[in-house]
Structure 1
Amino acid sequence: MDRGNLSDLTAFIAVADRLSFRAAASQLGVTPSALSHSMRQLEERLGVRLLNRTTRSVSVTDAGVRLLEQLRPAIDRIAGALEDLNETRQRPMGRLRIYALPLAAAAVIAPIWERFLSTYPDVHLELAVGEAPIDLVANGFDAGIAPRDRAPADMIAVRVMAPMKVAVVGAPAYFARRRPPRTPDDLAQHSCIQFRTVGDGAVLVWTFERNRQSRRVSVNGRVMVNDADLAVRAAVDGLGLAYTIEALAEPFLRSGQLVRVLEDWSPTFEGLFLYYPGHRQVPATLRALIDMIRTNRATPGKSLLKNPFTKV
C-alpha cells in the first residue's frame, strides 16, 4: 500500500466518525473540498461507494461499515505503535548498548550504574569492554566512551569525566615492611606493579609532575599486568605500589585498603568523552545516562598530559 492510500483511509475514518466533512477536515487540517476530493478518489480506486452525502448530511454505506470494521483494529495498532514511540522518546526505556575502554567502564559507568538502573527501571544496560576501536553503528552500539582522540570526527563527543589525576598507592601491609617513597627517585627501592599497554605492548613509564617539572621513571617489580583494575587489585593484595588514577583507587582509599603516596608529584591526564552518532534526536535513555554521568563528575580542570593508560 502506498502512502496516499493510507492517508485516504485515515481521512475516511475521520469522516465516518464525525459524519461531517467540515468537522473531519478541521481535524485533519485540510479544506472540506480537498477532503471530499480525496474520498471520491478513494471510492474510484476501490470501485465502491463508502459514503452517502448530500448538502445537509453524510452517512456510511454498508460497504463503508464493513471496511470500517476491518480498518479500526489496524489503525488502533498503528496509533498504539506511535504512542509507544512517543513514550520511548520522552521516557528512558529499552536497551542501551555502550562500548567502553576497560578504564572508562570502571571509572565512568561502574560508579553510577546502580543509581541509573534504579532511577530508570525500564532500561536494560549492556556494557561491552574492549581496547580496539570499532565501528559503533555497524556493531549496534548506542555510544562509546574513550579519550577524545578515539571519537570519530563525524560523531558528537561530550565530556563525561574531568581530567584524571594519578594516584600512586600501596597497601598498609606493604608499607609496614617498607618506608613510603617521598620522591619519584625513591621508587627504585620499591616493588612496583608494572603495566603493559594493550595496543603497542610497551611497558608504562611512570610520569610525574611538580612545579612545572616532569620526571619519567621506569619502575621494577615482580608483577606485570595489562589491566588497570588488576594493577589496583595487586596493590590491595600487598604485591607492590600501583600507578593508577584516583577514580579507580578512591573506593580502596576510603576503606583504608590502600594508602596514597607521592600525591604532590601526581600529574593530571586527559579525561574521557562519551561519543555517539550525530543524529538530531538523542534517545532519551542515552540522554539520561549522559546527564547522570556528568552530574557525578567534577568540573573539568586543565589537562597536562596525554593519558598513558589508553594507547592503541
Structure 2
Amino acid sequence: MRTTDLSELAAFDAVARHRSFRRASEERGVTASAISHAVSNLEARVGIRLLNRTTRSVSLTDAGAMLLARLSPAFGDIGSALDALNQFRDTPFGKVRINAPNSIAPFVLGPVIGPLIAANPNLELEIVATDRLVDIVEEGFDAGIRLGESLRDGMTAVKISPRLRFAVVGSPGYFSSRPIPRIPADLTSHICIRNMYPSGVGYPWSFARNGEEIDIDVNGPLALHDHELMIESALAGVALAYVWEDRARPYVESGRLVACLNDWIVPEDWLYLYYPTRKYLSAGLRAVIEALRAG
C-alpha cells in the first residue's frame, strides 16, 4: 500500500469516528479541505461512497461502516506498535489530549504541567478546558478529568490529586453593612450569586458538619457558571460567591475577600482521570497519570 493510501484511510477513519470534517482536521493537524480531499480520493479509488455528507452532518454508508469496523482495530494496533518504541527512549514520545473542566483545570493541571514537560521533553500535551459536557471518545481525547467516579460503561477511572473544596466569600465592602454569616441558614438574608451549570441548570450551595448536611438554594439577582466572573462580582461587592477555594485563596490572603462558613464546608468528591478501558494506555498517558496521582 502506498503512503498516500494510508493517509487517506487515516483521514477517513478520523472523519468516521468524529462524524465531522472539522474535528477530524483538528485531530490530524491539517485543514478540513485537506481531509475532504483525502476522503474524496479514497472514495474515487475504491469506487464506493463511504460517507453521506450534508451541510450539517456526516454519516456512514453501509460500506463506510464496514470499513471503519475493520480499520479502527488496525489503526489501534499501529498506534500501539509505535508507542511500544518508547521502551527504547529515555522519555515518552507523542501527543496526549486531555479534557478538563475549565473551573478546576488551573488547580489540577497547572502545578504539574511544568514538571511533566521538563521530565518528558518529547511529550506533546494538548489540554482543552471547558465546562460543557464532553464525550472524550467522540471528540478525540485520550482522557478526561471530572469530579466523582460515576462514569459510563467502558471507562476506567483513576483517582488523582488534589481534592478540592468550595469557599463562601464576600468583599469587606459587602460586609461593612451586613453581618458575616455564621451558619448556612444565615445565607437566606444575604445577596448571593446563584451557581449554575453551562446548561443553565442551577445547583445549591452545599454544607456539612458533624454528620448534618444542608443544601441552600440562595437568592440573588445574578446567576453565573464561570467562577472567574463570580470572583469579580464578589470583589465588586455585588454579592457573596460560592467558588473553588483555590480560586479565591489569593484574594482572601490579600484581604480583598473575606471567607466565611469555613467549618461548614467539606471537600468535594475526589477528582478522577478517566479513559476508554479498551484504549491502549500509551507511555505518554501513563506519564500524565503518574504526575496527576502524585499531585
- In structure 2, relative to structure 1, the CA distance for the partners of 1:86 and 1:293 (3 Å cut) is closer
Partner of 2:117: 117
Unaligned runs of 5+ in 2: 2-80
Q: Does the 8 A contact of 2:161 with 2:294 survive in 1? A: no
- In structure 2, relative to structure 1, the CA distance for the partners of 1:174 and 1:156 (3 Å cut) is same
Identity of aligned residues (%): 37
Partner of 1:182: 182
Whichever residue aligns with residue 129 of structure 2, its letter is V
Secondary structure in structure 1 of the residue aligned to 2:103: helix
- Residue 193 (1) aligns with residue 188 (2): no
Partner of 2:230: 231
Partner of 1:126: 126
**How far 1:136 moved relative to its partner?**
2.3
**Distance in 1 of aligned mates of 2:201 and 2:82:** 53
Indicate the structure (1 or 2) with the bigger Cα radius of gyration: 1
Partner of 2:166: 166
**How far 1:89 moved relative to its partner?**
6.7
**How far 1:141 moved relative to its partner?**
1.0
**Distance in 2 of aligned mates of 1:225 and 1:191:** 14
**Distance in 1 of aligned mates of 2:185 and 2:277:** 47
**Distance in 2 of aligned mates of 1:214 and 1:109:** 30
Unaligned runs of 5+ in 1: 2-80, 297-312
Partner of 1:153: 153
Partner of 2:86: 86
Partner of 1:204: 203
TM-score computed with the length of structure 1 as normaliser: 0.59
Q: Does the 8 A contact of 1:89 with 1:284 survive in 2? A: no
TM-score computed with the length of structure 2 as normaliser: 0.62
Partner of 1:294: 293
**How far 1:144 moved relative to its partner?**
0.6
Whichever residue aligns with residue 221 of structure 1, its letter is G
Question: What are the within-5 Å matches in structure 2 for residues 272-287 of structure 1?
Answer: 272-278=271-277, 282-287=281-286
RMSD: 3.0
State how many pairs are aligned.
216
Q: Does the 8 A contact of 1:205 with 1:219 survive in 2? A: yes
Question: What are the within-5 Å matches in structure 2 for residues 205-220 of structure 1?
Answer: 205-220=204-219
**Distance in 1 of aligned mates of 2:229 and 2:150:** 23
102-111 or 86-95: bigger deviation: 86-95
CA distances 1:123-144 after superposition (whole Å, capped 9, x unpaired): 3322123344444234221101
- Residue 144 (1) aligns with residue 144 (2): yes
Partner of 1:95: 95
Question: What are the within-5 Å matches in structure 2 for residues 6-21 of structure 1?
Answer: none
Partner of 2:260: 261
